[in-house]
Chain A
């Protein structure tokens, strides 16, 4: 039995992260997005731990544990609670602005664009930067794409969290973690943001009877 001697752990973890991110685009149910986000974050926490292992910076282990604790356990819990409590009869994204098949293709093109941008950047890089920076751009772009192409507010929220994950991966891979205090501050900001937007979601579903953002078009200048 032959097992390959050289195992490309970095690339594989990057690939798995991308696959997990695509889960957000291809699924239509509310709870599916939360699941997709959770898988994505778990992979992200693993990647941070991997970077910690390679660079031998102990702070990154704490950051990885924090990521796992807050973003893979607490935030999905809040979001699941929100999904359960929303009194929307059909918990599906029924007709997004851009259809599912087109958004999958567009997301693949966005991934391609991220790699292209990274090649243009010309950063003198080590292997970690080379592998994860383009992926972090992809996460950012895909999150942005989800925000502008979907109708349900919850989906936009998960898109926002994906952007944030991309940002986090960007920070960790480029600078190997800047300082624990700032990371903790970031996490607190995210947690607070999730709580606030959950309250907003409840209010939205109570006032409009849905969380479709087509209701949110009354404020404009004609």
Chain B
């Protein structure tokens, strides 16, 4: 094992990727000084970003990387998740310095809370990074369950009635949902080892192994197992009607954590669905799982549309928008054509970028205005010009205005819907998108351009809150114009994996 450790760069990289947040978490625990723990966390998440990018470079080179006897397995699909985790993670850590520092100055939290926050932050990154790199579906499940536990700790950082309520609901619903997913995972393992029931070892639960044997599975059991999986991981991914915990949890968490929850964690859970979707498609054809994904996706978009239109709370509105976008991704995967899947994977990245931007901006806005109510937040562009500007860009991007990135992926998805002759779902998606456009747009314009209710000092909230947002705005503009070459290759490769399940190509 140790000889292998140093034999290849990749094994070292993967190990570094998961060890960095652990070490950083330990350092935070022992150092305890505000400035130092901030620096440690920012540095470690920067390191994770670099490691992630290097890893993706080697993914592009080798297509698949399997190390430590197949415990860890990385391909382009994992690459997409890793890139969102590491990018949003780094920016979020930068933003945390400003946001949590401000909470600290206002005496909302004390130093021990701050230590707990950064411990939780690092552990959260660790558990999320474990999801895309593990080959064993059982370990992946454990990692996703661990993300729930860690993020509950982060949400209940403030001892407030509402945050206690949100974390209790989140813990309960997500755990029950994930236990269904484990039922499904065990069923898959069972159908895989059905001929050899007593020789159960961990490799029967490996994704690579499952995909290889998929064609021989018992179709009825696979259908049942996939229903368990989609309900289970769907709960965590915020697909309606299992989404009820999501608006509470995402709106009560500290804003940097909301960005991670909405932009990244949902993708991690959806990644679980994708992996099993591939197995199911290889076993019984993609029709069954595609239909399920489309139905759940449409329901999510519809519910989100209604909730956004009548929303009163800024962060809840953003949370429902996440439900909407997970629905769009799910529908796109369900359409099942090359363009649709390409669009869906692109949408995962785009949504992560835009949603974290919006949560950063809303964090600054609610700190400045002292409220999360939409009706009390007016004239952002006058009180905080830069934040107001990026909030406007982010808002326009999330409802799918043309020059920005989300428009591009939504356009791809809808055209694939018509191309694959899913007329009714595509029309429904367009209808709901129009409602969301109207609802979100109405709130957005009033918040940005209205006149402030009371007079405030014209000032943004510190350079460290601005930089992450500007970086994200730049990405929005770039991705709106074209998809960079390496990213395009990455997404194309993963579309191939999703379409054929062929792991060697």
Contacts and interface: CB of A to CB of B under 8 A. Distances in A.
Contact of B316 (A121, A185, A206, A221): A221
B110 interface: no
Interface residues of A, number: 47
A193 interface: yes
A217 B187 CA distance: 36
Q: Which bracket fits the contact residues of B? A: 35 or more
A200 B186 contact: no
B311 interface: yes
Given A160-B175, A167-B179, A219 B165 contact: yes
A175 B316 CA distance: 42
Interface stretch (B82-90, B199-207, B375-383, B414-422): B199-207
Interface SS of B by simple majority:
helix
B373 to A, nearest CB: 13
B221 interface: yes
B43 interface: no
Interface in B186-200: 186-187, 189-190, 193-194, 197-198, 200
B171 A185 contact: no
Nearest to B313: A221
A219 B248 contact: yes
A102 interface: no
Interface string B207-224: 000000000000011001
A216 B190 CA distance: 39
Contact of A163 (B149, B152, B164, B179): B179
Nearest to B320: A221
Given A160-B176, A174-B190, A189-B146, A221 B307 contact: yes
A57 B190 contact: no
Contacts of B464: none
B159 A203 contact: yes
A200 B156 contact: yes
Interface stretch (B10-18, B46-54, B136-144): B136-144
B160 to A, nearest CB: 8
Interface in B168-184: 168-169, 171-172, 175-176, 179, 182-183
B284 interface: no
CB-based closest 10 A-B pairs: A179-B202, A182-B138, A216-B165, A185-B142, A219-B248, A189-B145, A171-B186, A174-B190, A192-B149, A167-B179
